[in-house]
Amino acid sequence: SQKIEQNSEALNIQEGKTATLTCNYTNYSPAYLQWYRQDPGRGPVFLLLIRENEKEKRKERLKVTFDTTLKQSLFHITASQPADSATYLCALLNYNQGGKLIFGQGTELSVKP
């Protein structure tokens, strides 16, 4: 069956450390994978997109990697801050499924001062 899964447990880290979030998928052939941030009761906010032929993308303190052999994407936030506390969602766009984004369940990140 097709699955997309993120860290099931909430992630608690200390301010200044690097947060690493995981997104694994099974039986999909993604054209690309996106990461979104979502605050409680709000809509997801787009952060980064990485295509299947890209290994790594960076934007300021954010880095995402994509390994199509392992069927995994990692999302890193370096020098984390309490303001980074939120739920992070990964979403993939599968080939031959048009514009249908398939989301993981999200990982809640809490950064303590």
Partner 1 sequence: DAGVTQSPTHLIKTRGQQVTLRCSPKSGHDTVSWYQQALGQGPQFIFQYYEEEERQRGNFPDRFSGHQFPNYSSELNVNALLLGDSALYLCASSLDSTSTDTQYFGPGTRLTVL
Binding residues (CB under 8 A) for partner 1: these are 31-32, 34, 36, 41-46, 49, 89, 91, 93, 97-106
Cα gap 92→100, rounded to integer Å: 9
Least distance in angstroms from the C-beta of 19 to partner 1: 19
Pick the closer one to partner 1 by CB: 84 or 106.
106
Least distance in angstroms from the C-beta of 87 to partner 1: 9
Least distance in angstroms from the C-beta of 109 to partner 1: 15
Question: Do 9 and 101 meet the contact criterion of CB atoms below 8 Å apart?
Answer: no
Cα gap 66→70, rounded to integer Å: 9
Residue whose entry in the numeric block shows the structure tokens 């001062």: 113
Question: Do 103 and 90 meet the contact criterion of CB atoms below 8 Å apart?
Answer: yes
Pick the closer one to partner 1 by CB: 99 or 113.
99
